[in-house]
């Protein structure tokens, strides 16, 4: 006999109840807040033109976003120096995750447009998603549910211990 078990993810209700998610850009809102709120906002690093933060609604533990301060949905609107900084911080984010939480692989990408899976259409961001050999299971397929194995604040604290790795020496 098959028994249905409940998985509680109470933090998801904030995401579900949000109005049209593109009416207010959560990234711009976080950028505008004072740096004293960075920990509360799970923002790990503010670069010259780009920031690195934990995804508030992650696919898996350690899911980071690398995003420019510039509010745009168009790749061709991002200058060469900002693109370079984004890629450098993406590379450094991979190294940070390797050191802090030891994933076995990564998915890295940008979702452009709703049909590609973009949850926020108006502000480009790179997803850096750590992966482990046993992190895929039946939950996303059968129940459209992801199992996050660690609280966001706990993950943030682990990553913050190594955030100096994100600092650009230039």
* DSSP run (H or E) holding 100: helix 80-101
Q: Which of 63, 123, 125, 127 does the annotation list as catalytic? A: 125
DSSP structural state of residue 45 = E
Question: Would you call 125 a catalytic residue per the annotation?
Answer: yes
Residue 123: CB atoms within 10 Å: 20
Residues 111, 115, 119, 120: is their CA dihedral positive or negative? positive
Residues 6 or more apart in contact with residue 30 via CB below 8 angstroms: 37, 41, 43, 51, 53
Q: How far apart are CA 71 and CA 82, in angstroms?
A: 12
State how far the Cα of 148 lies from the Cα of 125, in Å rounded to an integer.
21
Residues classed as catalytic = 125
């Amino acid at each position: 006999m098959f028994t249905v078990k409940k998985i509680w993810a109470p933090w998801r209700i904030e995401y579900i109840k949000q109005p049209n998610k593109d009416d207010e850009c959560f990234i711009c809102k976080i950028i505008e807040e004072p740096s004293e709120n960075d920990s509360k906002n799970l923002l790990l690093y503010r670069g010259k033109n780009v920031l690195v933060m934990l995804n508030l609604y992650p696919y898996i533990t350690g899911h980071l976003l690398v995003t420019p301060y510039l509010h745009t949905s168009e790749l061709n609107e991002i200058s060469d120096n900002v693109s370079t900084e984004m890629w450098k911080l993406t590379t450094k984010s991979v190294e940070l995750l390797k050191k802090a939480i030891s994933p076995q692989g990564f998915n890295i990408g940008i979702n452009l447009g709703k049909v590609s899976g973009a949850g926020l259409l108006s502000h480009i961001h790179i997803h850096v998603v750590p992966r482990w050999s046993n992190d895929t299971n039946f939950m996303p397929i059968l129940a459209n549910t992801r199992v996050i194995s660690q609280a966001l604040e706990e993950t943030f604290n682990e990553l913050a211990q190594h955030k100096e790795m994100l600092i650009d020496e230039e």
